A and B are shown apart, each in its own frame.
Chain A
């Protein structure tokens, strides 16, 4: 790829990028969120068309106008958000867009599976599949089309460490088969683990490439961010204070009657960060929402909030958010869905600040003075990059949206702070800033609950880690002593033993 430029409106997603991909190598494409990695690869796979620049495959100049052209050139991409039809079977998905017989597809799937050691059931519907099964199917689909260049966009984001290891061995097998594999990621340890060569993008521009053997995490992250960054997450030692939250026998069913949380019990203390690990959908969301009063809990469930000032104990089960709020329970909630549950995207920053406090007013009119003050305070203290306070929140970048939300939630000096995937989609700098904020809360004596997906971060940041496995507590481990493998095992089977197999 030579001099590739792609613009969206006034924003350059890629600017004069030159990239070579060699046969039989695993290339990592590294960069922060929004650095243009996916855009660049989407131009190879025919989803986007470059504004300028040229592409050569095997030395021949080509024009890739559509995904069909890309297949013809043996380029296949596995997108971050799977491109599968839920109501179709595996075989039907493989056949999609290519005319062929279902029987041939099934035979082909079997051949590919035998070759690389996959397990795909041809007749299984996609909506019945687990995330890693779906990913395997995506890979089979691309291989079935005869891809020689495979592009994987953030493939490990949804996998457990064990599944990731399996994926990596598949990638190595494909490399041994003479295929070129490109992996898009922002996780440094994966880059070092799997790839032969690393190409770094920053703000849409190509920074350079290095052989993986000649580099380390620190220099890669410096290339990625453009200046020296500290990769160490602090874990200040703070004296644990009193219990803030006592959860006992908490069970939650979803509206289909499926048990999402099963007899969960734990305590959260002031002055500590309690991490919650688990495969996506293991009950993390339900847990936080049950505590916040957004989900009804089953009988026998008990959520006791202990007020640090008065020592009063309040039962939160069976109360709705408004009742909890009016009881004066001092907790803050940074939900997973920032612009869906946390903030209103089409409103400006002061209006969003107001959302948390509009019940306080006595008159029927809105007093905008305090929200405005709070908004400018948050913008100043957390360094939110925004043209002005009146900007719609949805127009801000992901990191700045999160800063506005976290800023609002910690402004009331909560006794309990719950965060769900607080750094999802944020770049290293912003993530570090968020960790810093959480640590400050911890030092103030707040009980922090941190639901996370990156095990490395959980292990560095949290004092204790509770691991959930299909709605049950698989165990609570010490963040300083636990290992990634241990937690990974606990994520897939209760207590980390293989008794389910």
Chain B
């Protein structure tokens, strides 16, 4: 039982990182923009949250005042969202306004942002005294506070459901909110129309460019929260130069495909990815076999792709115009 609980906990923590990434990317892709910069954007979110909370904690320390709990939570969150949204803005400017190739732009964004984040991560470590020294303990503690633990339920249930910081629940809420936005609001419907056929949406009087910018920036912002969660909760407020965020970012992209562009499916999909990713720890495997098991999320994604393309259900297909630039006077 203990093993199962710790596996589920690991899976949910892992899943939350990629759920943020995937939810944001779904929002972006529904507008027809294929932003392969998700890993980079998650890096931006991560480093911005770390740098801002570090600055705030240091400022409080040197002023000799106790940091405000509210600001400890809100400052890194806003900074992560804004930094990531800037990544989305850059992507939109290049691909929507200048009509650059989306694949190339996205990949470049990933390389650029990963480098940028690690540069700042290294500098922060230096500020803090050396490699691996950066630590924003106060902020991280708040992010990891099990605020739902008080609910009087059997201990086992509590361990399964309420053993997490608030970001875990926020990820689910945002995924549901994006689902409602896409499917229940006029603006969401317009966005989906643009993703399917921008020319049609344009002819119907929808502001194509505005929606694409908005979707890419909001989507990137949400993806960036994945980076924030990774830094504050997953690695407990530290910075490591090991490229894990990037590999998680690619898993988020895989999750978008796995969930066939549906945010609600990405909720359980992300936890499933977490389960198959960590299961090797609990079935006693050699190191070599572990590496094979870590491929499982990708294998599952490929299987889903095959299954979906065999079924050919229109609703499960990617947005029709995904990856294509739009220019009204194109002929």
- The answer on a CB contact under 8 Å between B205 and A98 is yes
Residues 282-313 of B at the A interface (beta carbon under 8 Å): 312
In the complex, what residue of chain A is closest to B187 when comparing beta carbons?
A99
- The answer on a CB contact under 8 Å between A45 and B203 is yes
- B314 CB to closest chain A CB (Å) equals 5
Residue interface bits B54-70, CB-to-A below 8 A is 1, else 0: 00000000000000000
| Contacting residue for A95 out of B189, B197, B317, B329, CB 8 A | B189
- B326 CB to closest chain A CB (Å) equals 12
Q: Is B206 positioned at the interface, with any CB of A under 8 Å from its CB?
A: yes
Residues of A within 8 Å of B193, CB to CB, are 85, 88, 96-97
Binds B, one of A64-72, A354-362, A477-485: A64-72
| Contacting residue for A67 out of B192, B196, B197, B205, CB 8 A | B205
Residues 60-88 of A at the B interface (beta carbon under 8 Å): 66-68, 71, 77, 79, 83-88
In the complex, what residue of chain A is closest to B317 when comparing beta carbons?
A87
- The answer on a CB contact under 8 Å between B197 and A85 is yes
- The answer on a CB contact under 8 Å between A96 and B320 is no
- A452 CB to closest chain B CB (Å) equals 26
Residues 186-211 of B at the A interface (beta carbon under 8 Å): 186, 189-190, 192-193, 196-197, 199-206
Residue interface bits A310-324, CB-to-B below 8 A is 1, else 0: 000000000000000
Q: Is A365 positioned at the interface, with any CB of B under 8 Å from its CB?
A: no
- The answer on a CB contact under 8 Å between B328 and A68 is no
- The answer on a CB contact under 8 Å between A83 and B206 is no
- A308 CB to closest chain B CB (Å) equals 43
| Contacting residue for A127 out of B186, B203, B314, CB 8 A | B314
Interface of A is mostly: loop
Residue interface bits B205-231, CB-to-A below 8 A is 1, else 0: 110000000000000000000000000
- B320 CB to closest chain A CB (Å) equals 7
In the bound complex, CA of A100 to CA of B202 (Å): 18
CB within 8 Å for A77 and B320 given contacts A8-B331, A96-B190, A127-B314: no
- The answer on a CB contact under 8 Å between A92 and B189 is yes
- The answer on a CB contact under 8 Å between B203 and A67 is yes
| Contacting residue for B199 out of A48, A83, A86, CB 8 A | A83
- The answer on a CB contact under 8 Å between B189 and A68 is no
- The answer on a CB contact under 8 Å between B204 and A97 is yes
- The answer on a CB contact under 8 Å between B196 and A97 is no
CB within 8 Å for A97 and B329 given contacts A85-B193, A87-B315, A92-B189: no
In the bound complex, CA of A446 to CA of B199 (Å): 44
CB within 8 Å for A96 and B189 given contacts A66-B205, A85-B200, A127-B314: yes
CB within 8 Å for A67 and B204 given contacts A85-B193, A87-B196, A99-B186: yes
Residues of B within 8 Å of A96, CB to CB, are 189-190, 193, 200-201, 204, 206
- The answer on a CB contact under 8 Å between B190 and A97 is yes
Greatest chain A CB density within 10 A among B200, B312, B320 is at B200
In the complex, what residue of chain B is closest to A77 when comparing beta carbons?
B203
Residues of B within 8 Å of A19, CB to CB, are none
Residues of B within 8 Å of A85, CB to CB, are 192-193, 196-197, 200-201
- The answer on a CB contact under 8 Å between B204 and A47 is no
- The answer on a CB contact under 8 Å between A48 and B190 is no
Q: Is A253 positioned at the interface, with any CB of B under 8 Å from its CB?
A: no
In the bound complex, CA of A99 to CA of B314 (Å): 25
- A52 CB to closest chain B CB (Å) equals 16
Residues of B within 8 Å of A100, CB to CB, are 186
- The answer on a CB contact under 8 Å between B200 and A47 is no
* Contact size range, B: 20 to 34
In the bound complex, CA of A49 to CA of B320 (Å): 26
Q: Is A366 positioned at the interface, with any CB of B under 8 Å from its CB?
A: no
In the bound complex, CA of A68 to CA of B206 (Å): 8
- B38 CB to closest chain A CB (Å) equals 24
- B275 CB to closest chain A CB (Å) equals 31
- The answer on a CB contact under 8 Å between B189 and A83 is no
CB within 8 Å for A47 and B202 given contacts A85-B196, A87-B315, A127-B314: yes
- A153 CB to closest chain B CB (Å) equals 12
- The answer on a CB contact under 8 Å between A47 and B205 is no
Q: Is A256 positioned at the interface, with any CB of B under 8 Å from its CB?
A: yes
In the bound complex, CA of A168 to CA of B79 (Å): 61
Residues 115-174 of B at the A interface (beta carbon under 8 Å): none
- B199 CB to closest chain A CB (Å) equals 6
Residue interface bits A402-442, CB-to-B below 8 A is 1, else 0: 00000000000000000000000000000000000000000
Q: Is A125 positioned at the interface, with any CB of B under 8 Å from its CB?
A: yes
Residues of B within 8 Å of A68, CB to CB, are 205
In the complex, what residue of chain B is closest to A45 when comparing beta carbons?
B203
Residue interface bits A16-58, CB-to-B below 8 A is 1, else 0: 0000000000000000000000000000010111000000000
Greatest chain A CB density within 10 A among B204, B317, B331 is at B204
Residues 210-254 of A at the B interface (beta carbon under 8 Å): none
In the bound complex, CA of A256 to CA of B200 (Å): 28
- A4 CB to closest chain B CB (Å) equals 15
- The answer on a CB contact under 8 Å between B328 and A83 is no
Residues of A within 8 Å of B312, CB to CB, are 256
Residues of A within 8 Å of B329, CB to CB, are 8, 47-49
In the bound complex, CA of A48 to CA of B331 (Å): 11
Residues 180-196 of A at the B interface (beta carbon under 8 Å): none
- The answer on a CB contact under 8 Å between A83 and B205 is no
In the bound complex, CA of A95 to CA of B187 (Å): 11
- The answer on a CB contact under 8 Å between A86 and B204 is no
Residues of B within 8 Å of A127, CB to CB, are 314
- The answer on a CB contact under 8 Å between B197 and A83 is yes
In the complex, what residue of chain A is closest to B310 when comparing beta carbons?
A256
- The answer on a CB contact under 8 Å between B196 and A83 is no
Contacts beyond the supplied A8-B331, A85-B193: 7 A-B pairs with Cβ under 8 Å:
A8-B329, A47-B329, A67-B204, A86-B320, A96-B204, A97-B204, A100-B186
B residues in contact (CB < 8 Å) with A: 186, 189-190, 192-193, 196-197, 199-206, 312, 314-315, 317, 320, 328-329, 331
Question: What are 30 of the A-B contact pairs (CB < 8 Å)?
Answer: A8-B331, A47-B203, A49-B329, A66-B205, A67-B202, A67-B203, A67-B205, A68-B205, A83-B197, A83-B199, A83-B204, A84-B197, A84-B200, A85-B192, A85-B193, A85-B200, A86-B197, A87-B196, A88-B193, A88-B196, A92-B189, A96-B189, A96-B201, A97-B190, A97-B193, A97-B204, A98-B204, A98-B205, A100-B186, A127-B314
The 8 closest A-B pairs by CB, nearest first: A97-B204, A68-B205, A83-B200, A97-B205, A96-B204, A97-B206, A83-B203, A85-B196
